[in-house]
Structure 1
Amino acid sequence: MRLLHTMLRVGNLERSITFYTELLGMKLLRQSDNTQYKYTLAFIGYGEEDANTVLELTYNWGTESYDLGNAYGHIAIGVDDIYGICAKLEAKGAEVYRKPGPVLGGDTVIAFVRDPDGYAIELIAD
């Protein structure tokens, strides 16, 4: 068994694809429309689905936002240059709401950023 993907509902598919591909360096792996049920799926990630866990972005046509609730935590991405990626994200208008620095009580350097729909992403220095 292996973890295949995590699904996030998004209010603007192109905006989300741009965020994850241009700002976080993922690749758009595949995209499909379901005209009968009025939704579009886009699978993005750092490698092909047969060997990597990916994100499934689901756009339900006509839905521009979601109540994220209080159960969702975050996804985590390992990065080589956490300070550089955070500077790049902020320069492109992304909200880095926890600046890079050591985790409380430890040495691991982390930061937190929000995607365009408000989902939290933890960046962890590799």
Structure 2
Amino acid sequence: MKAVLNHCNINITDLSKSIAFYKEALGMQIVREKEASDGSFKLVYLGDGISPFQIELTWLKDHPQPYDLGENESHICFVVDDYEAYHQLHQQMDCICFENEAMGLYFIHDPDDYWIEIVPKK
């Protein structure tokens, strides 16, 4: 038996804003999309072009309010090839929400306040 990691889902309130954020902040691209025939939801899968893992953005028509993310302890992690360049980009985007210099990592947050951990390639 073998299970293979495929994707993770996050629910978002503004699809175009989220897509633009993930493209600019992390170079993610749309891999595929699915929309309900009645327009009640839309799914957009983003990929990094390297790994098979994807982020599924889910937009729900009847949920315009922000999502309750609890204490925001869940996160997605990206390993970056040029830590300093990404750090500078994320500073310019004003999306860094937590830095741990002792551990050599930091977190950014997306438009819906999901946290994304950024670590250097070792």
Are 1:89 and 2:84 counterparts? no
How many pairs were matched up? 118
Letter paired with 1:41: L
Structural RMSD (CA) = 1.9
Task: Identify the residue that residue 99 of structure 2 maps to in structure 1.
Answer: 99
- Give the structure 1 partner of residue 120 of structure 2: 125
Do the aligned partners of 2:15 and 2:59 also contact (CA within 8 Å) in 1? Answer: yes
Unmatched runs of 5 consecutive residues or more in structure 1: 104-108
Corresponding residue for residue 22 of structure 1: 24
Partners of 1:40 and 1:60 within 8 A in 2 = yes
> Residue 42 of structure 2 aligns with which residue?
40
2:10 is the alignment partner of 1:8: yes
On the 8 A contact 1:43/1:54 being kept in 2, the answer is yes
Query: Does structure 2 conserve the Cα–Cα contact (< 8 Å) formed by 1:82 and 1:100?
Result: no
Residue identity matched to 2:94: G
Q: CA deviation at 1:14?
A: 0.5
TM-score normalized with structure 2 length = 0.86
Unaligned runs of 5+ in 2: none
> C-alpha deviations, 1:30-86, integer Å up to 9, x for none?
1121133600000001137xx611100000014232111237411100001222212
Report the equivalent of 2:107. Answer: 112
* Closer/same/farther in 2, CA of residues 90 and 57 from structure 1, 3 Å limit: same
- TM-score for both structures, normalised by structure 1: 0.83
Contact kept in structure 1, 2:29 and 2:49, CA below 8 Å: yes
Go from structure 1 to structure 2 and tell me whether the alpha carbon gap of 1:68 and 1:125 turns closer, same or farther (over 3 Å shift).
Answer: same
CA distance in 2, matches of 1:112, 1:5: 20
